[in-house]
Structure 1
Amino acid sequence: MNRIEKVLNKGEKLLIPYITPEFPIKNSTLPLLEALHYAGSDMIEIGIPFSDPIADGPTIQHSSYIALKNGVNLRKIFNIVSEFRKKFSTPIILMGYFNSILNFGISKFVSESVENGIDGLIVPDLPVDEADELINFSQKYGLSNIFLVAPTSTTERIKLISSKSTHFAYCVSVTGVTGERENFGGDEFENFMRRVKENSTKPFVVGFGISKREHVLKAWEWADGAVVGSALIKKLFNIDEISKCSEIAYEFIKELKNGLVQEKKQIW
């Protein structure tokens, strides 16, 4: 059974942080993954840095730029996840643009992802109706495909995305790029969530704009999980110590998941 499926079968609301590997400094990725695990992350999303990230706002764009300067590539990401897998079973999801996957080779990318302990894949610039080759290889090797639902998605498209997503779909809370926002929710968001709920046969999570505990709780009212990316990345800006990166990530995700952290201690 896929690790993602095991988590979903618990029936609990999920918190899924997103990190950019080797940001903000070299060799910070594995300690960050460990800290996020101990903070209670239900799954962890790792971005594949790309030179032209069309779905990402300035925060994640900047982190990708730093990560590329720090020498990140797919092979390094695979090696880090493989090392993480020696001790932890938290599902890992890669989010990357199709050009990176195509250049690596679709079959090779999928097989090596699974071989190194990666559980799922999000490709924001690959429409679901053009993803058959990726889906076929993913089914062959056991990689979970997670497709994006936008507020502009029609009823028929929501049904299609739900059916093509292996275990769950990912709802983009607003039209536009990633980025933390002061306000989250509102009538438009709730109408969107209602449409997704009525037309999905699989669980779904919500991302884009989540930066506070109250945002997470709002997402949990409607969806099975909340994804937090830019807000976490922003907290790591200009940090130059690995232990400090881990501490900041641990405390932030612990707070988003459970409320205010009462006791701060390093356990990783």
Structure 2
Amino acid sequence: MDFQQTVQGIKDLSIQGATAIAVAATEALAQKIAQGASEEELRSATKELVEARATEPALRNALAYCLTNYKADPEAAQKAAEHFNDAKKKITEIGANRIEDGMTVFTHCHSSTVERIVIEAHKQGKKIRVRNTETRPKFQGRITAQKISEAGIEVDHYVDSAATEAIRGANIFLFGCDAITSDGRIINKIGTALMLDIAEKYDVPSYSCTDSWKFNPATIMGHDEEIEQREPAEVWEDAPKGVKIHNPAFEVCSPDSLTGMISELGIFKPEALITEIKVAYPWLIN
């Protein structure tokens, strides 16, 4: 996939999932570096990748790492990609340990991280079942249902409005993460906050499964993470006059509604994870 194909793939969601987007963007920038692009050209390419989709701090952090280090270290882009691959393995291991034999796992949207955790637990011989929501309007939940069922795990697929029924019968709620703010708030697919409220009502433990590079350092200085607003036509083409369509891709979730966060650094409460991030990756803050 060439540079422009990557940019377009991020825009139209053919490349989706925060980690997949970050890795694809890093590989696209690595192509430019290998072609001998100037620093100005690399900064322009980075800007184009960043603007392809909002609410993607993992993408921004990975590209920032590459731009900062590529002159001193020609392997900087490769090392950024390796971080994501290594983190995937650690998160998968830790997350699978949290799933017990006989559990029903609920999830929302499509998180490749959650997908790997569930499949790993299955490979360990644990008998599990998955409940998931369709995730309108782009139906990313179907990706989750298909991939997990192909791994030999039984899946119950629910319309979004049946989330209460789905969660009430689950033992654990695992979901992804698109951004982490300095005050511990989690930004994830629209609908996540509502489902966290339901999980709390029915005492279902809830964990965000994430690479810690999704932390947004700009929030330390009071800047908010931009919430992507997608096209109204995704919800309703030719909507009647006077009907305004709201189609936010993500929403903010309170740290108080989470049991914990599963990252490559371990399982922590959101506020504690931020402290660990500052120690493990000081360059993210600086």
- RCO higher in 1 or 2 (8 Å CA, sep ≥ 6)? 1
TM-score, normalised with respect to structure 1: 0.32
The structure where helix makes up a greater share of residues is: 2
In the superposition, the TM-score normalised over structure 2's length comes to 0.30
Max Rg structure: 2
